């Protein structure tokens, strides 16, 4: 980490004739004492860094020291910055600050180092998912070190089992995080929802990486269950949910207040939960067996409140 910080410090100095130690400390999220130690380290390495004391003092790099900055275009730097910002939101790691500062130095059009990108991803974790941040770090460690992960897993049916897996990829899909891994218990590739994992541990057991190919997560193959195309009548206020999930071609007809749509589901509680999420803004029109099944599902919920 220290080497990353030293490089970031050099890149900042390349873009400023002079900058205060206080500002360097704030940008690199360390103390001023650390900054002065880093300057001493770089001086011993032969870099011509000077410091000036007093109200108009600061730290600077002799103008004779130059580094080429034509590796990336400004647009490429902007795209990299956006990706780093999202990565830092997830992991909250200080080393991302150092990488960002290196890129800032290559983006001269913005003195603040925060490009105004036309497309921005906000991957900051909500309060309920803050606990996932520690999982990300452990999974990343296991991937880098080719270490087996061990955890308890509760599936969609509420059944719990102990798993040992070779981790390969973390995927964000429809507001949830998933781990794609080879399960040593099932002897096959599996997808695990991070929120269903508990007691995660990075074991000392090493594995030789397999020829992993990302598993499809289109909602069909990875669940290994059949889908039924359901016709629903929806309030227009929730029409966007169908478009975001399946595409505009699933909208059959629209009038002033409603829309008719094709909404594929799995004919079980998981699928009925999807329909129930629309609340009273959805009516299942067909096929008849799904309409009846959904009615029975809702009645089962209502029975929990009978007698109140």
Q: Where are the domains of the chain?
A: 1-122, 130-215, 225-303
Q: What number of residues does the chain have? A: 308
Quick check: pTM over 0.75? no
What CATH number is given for 130-215 in this structure? 2.30.30.100
pLDDT tens per residue, range 46-81: 778 878 776 667 888 776 655 555 445 666 666 566
Within 8 A by CB and 6+ apart from 13, the residues are 19, 49, 59, 60, 61
- Helix, strand or coil for residue 198? strand
Within 8 A by CB and 6+ apart from 272, the residues are 265, 293, 294, 297
Q: What is the pLDDT of residue 65?
A: 59
Within 8 A by CB and 6+ apart from 147, the residues are 141, 202, 203, 204, 205, 206, 207
How many CA atoms are closer than 13 Å to the CA of 22, on its beta-carbon side? 5
Q: Please give the Cα distance from 153 to 243 (Å, whole number).
A: 32
Q: Please give the Cα distance from 44 to 266 (Å, whole number).
A: 66
Q: What is the pLDDT of residue 220?
A: 47
Percentages helix, strand, coil for the chain, rounded to the nearest 5?
40, 25, 30
What are the residue ranges in the chain where pLDDT is below 50?
70-71, 110-115, 220-224
Q: What is the pLDDT of residue 200?
A: 93
Q: What is the pLDDT of residue 100?
A: 60
Name the nearest CA neighbour of 281 among 228, 240, 249, 229. Answer: 240
pLDDT tens per residue, range 259-277: 999 999 888 888 899 899 9
- Helix, strand or coil for residue 63? coil
Q: What b/e sequence results for 69-91 when a residue is b if at least 16 CB atoms lie within 10 Å of its CB, and e otherwise?
A: eeeeeeeebbebbbebbbbbebe
- Sheet containing 228-235: which strands, arranged edge to edge? 251-254, 258-265, 228-235, 282-286
């Amino acid at each position: 980490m220290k080497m990353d910080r030293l490089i970031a410090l050099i890149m900042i100095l390349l873009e400023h004739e002079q900058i205060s130690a206080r500002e360097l400390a704030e940008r690199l999220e360390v103390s001023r004492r650390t900054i002065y130690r880093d300057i001493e380290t770089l001086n011993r390495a032969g870099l011509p860094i000077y410091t000036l004391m007093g109200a108009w003092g600061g730290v600077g790099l002799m103008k004779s020291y130059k580094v080429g900055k034509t590796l990336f275009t400004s647009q490429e730097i902007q795209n990299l910055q956006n990706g780093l910002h999202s990565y830092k939101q997830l992991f909250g790691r200080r080393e991302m600050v150092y990488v960002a500062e290196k890129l800032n130095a290559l983006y001269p059009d913005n003195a603040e180092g925060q490009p105004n990108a036309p497309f921005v991803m906000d991957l900051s974790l909500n309060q309920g998912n803050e606990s996932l941040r520690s999982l990300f770090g452990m999974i990343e460690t296991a991937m880098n070190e080719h270490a087996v992960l061990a955890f308890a897993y509760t599936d969609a049916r509420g059944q719990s089992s102990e798993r040992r897996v070779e981790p390969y990829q973390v995927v964000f899909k429809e507001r949830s995080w998933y781990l794609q891994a080879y399960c040593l218990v099932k002897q096959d590739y599996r997808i695990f929802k991070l929120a269903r994992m508990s007691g995660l541990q990075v074991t000392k057991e090493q594995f030789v990486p397999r020829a992993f190919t990302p598993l499809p997560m289109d909602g069909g193959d990875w669940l290994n269950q059949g889908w039924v195309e359901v016709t629903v009548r929806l309030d227009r206020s929730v029409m966007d949910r169908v478009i975001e999930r399946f595409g505009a071609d699933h909208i059959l007809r629209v009038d002033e207040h409603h829309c008719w749509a094709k909404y594929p589901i799995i004919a079980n509680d998981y699928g009925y939960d999807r329909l129930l999420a629309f609340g009273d803004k959805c009516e299942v029109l067909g096929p008849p067996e799904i309409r009846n099944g959904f009615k029975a599902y809702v009645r089962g919920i209502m029975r929990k409140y009978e007698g109140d």
